[in-house]
Amino acid sequence: MIRSISQTANPSADAAAILRRLGFAILFFAVPLAALFTRRALVAMAPLAVILLVLASVLDGSARNAREKLTALMVSPGGVAGMVLLLWAGLSLVWTPFLPQASERLLNITGMALMALGGYLAVPERMRSANLYLLPIGVGLAALIAIGLSITGGSALDPEGLSLERGMLMLVVLLWPALAWLHSRGRNLEAIGLALAVAVCSLLTREGLPLYGLIAGTLAFVVTAWSPALGSRLTGLVMAGLLLFAPLLPFVLKPLAIGLFGPKAPVVVSLDAWRQIVLSEPLRLVTGHGLETALRGRFFGLIPPTAPSTLLFEIWYELGLVGAAAGSIILYQAATRARIQRATVEPGIMAAFACTFTLGCLGIGTAQVWWFTTLVVLVLIFVAIERGQFRTKRPKAVLRRKV
């Protein structure tokens, strides 16, 4: 009697599968929920999830061609610009007046970059749909909880509502990869319901930042869905152009702001302070003042307290033309290179670009660790979604009649 050969048990593969499922559960499901209750949840849980994914890839050897992937990423225009930006930020420590704080910030940025690279290499070439469906479930459940917390006045763990506001910002950012995955699977009704839930959350916020990010992301999503080539190129040009020519904004926008809001409006005062900084030190536009000067300079009288708190002003003031040019190349290359992805995912990618860039321009704390971590999580999620698109449609079952 011939016995069938049974598959040999592979403890390493089983352990890797468990670690990978746990890592994605933390990244996709636990992080959106925990961010509503504690401000440090994201900073603690995201690195843990990446470590689990890296361990899983080491155990089962799923991280194939890691050196080739890393080399291709580094020699690309965006990768070269990223290394230039990081090196220039390190060089700016020579002339920054806040060396200890700037060194700590540079260390955090470097750590986030390494975490992103490790997670990128650890994501398997083919993602299981069961893991990716955790993302819209987590975002949807977090949105419902956020609505309840906003109506009832928050939780006992967050009496001031700071974690709730930050959690809602994260929900707006994570909405776009969740919609991209649902749309790629043909679950458009569920995607609309998820978008409505997050939109209600945005309307209930006190400052309105999530709503502005949601509007910008929606516009980019619609344009890219209508024309992927136009959407990606337009998104890249707008982001790169605003960053590269940011010092001209106070001269162009101030007359318009005076006509709309009056000469004493806060936005007019902020633009006037920016204009005076540009005119008083034009040569420092090339080198910048070094890391941490845009934030801490307000408390030491280096810049007026009315100076704008925006990504556009901070990059130019701290890193100058070199940092702004490198950042513009990164943004444009990242947006246009996304055109190689599948058409069903690309609108979500452009919407995420527009949303995060808008939040940065409107004054979100881009220098804070939690925001860097959010961007890393967003990138890893989109990498996982793109690698879950290897099957376009389900195979049909064929019933054969017995003769």
Mean pLDDT for the stretch of residues 93-99: 91
pLDDT tens digits, one per residue of 219-272: 999 999 999 889 999 999 999 999 999 999 999 988 888 888 788 888 888 899
- Give the count of domains, the chain: 1
User: How buried is 132 (Cβ within 10 angstroms: 0-12 exposed, 13-18 middle, 19+ buried)?
Assistant: buried
What residue numbers bound the domain in which 216 lies?
13-246+311-386
In a domain, 31, yes or no: yes
In a domain, 297, yes or no: no
In a domain, 358, yes or no: yes
| Percent of the chain clearing pLDDT 90 (strictly above) | 42
In a domain, 301, yes or no: no
Q: How far apart are CA 131 and CA 144, in angstroms?
A: 21
In a domain, 304, yes or no: no
In a domain, 290, yes or no: no
What's the pLDDT score for residue 341?
53
In a domain, 329, yes or no: yes
pTM for the full model?
A: 0.90
Q: Does pLDDT of 402 surpass 60?
A: no
CA torsion angle 172 176 182 183 (round to 10)? 130
pLDDT tens digits, one per residue of 111-139: 889 999 989 988 888 888 888 999 999 99
Nearest alpha-carbon partner for 115 in 20, 50, 58 = 50
In a domain, 64, yes or no: yes
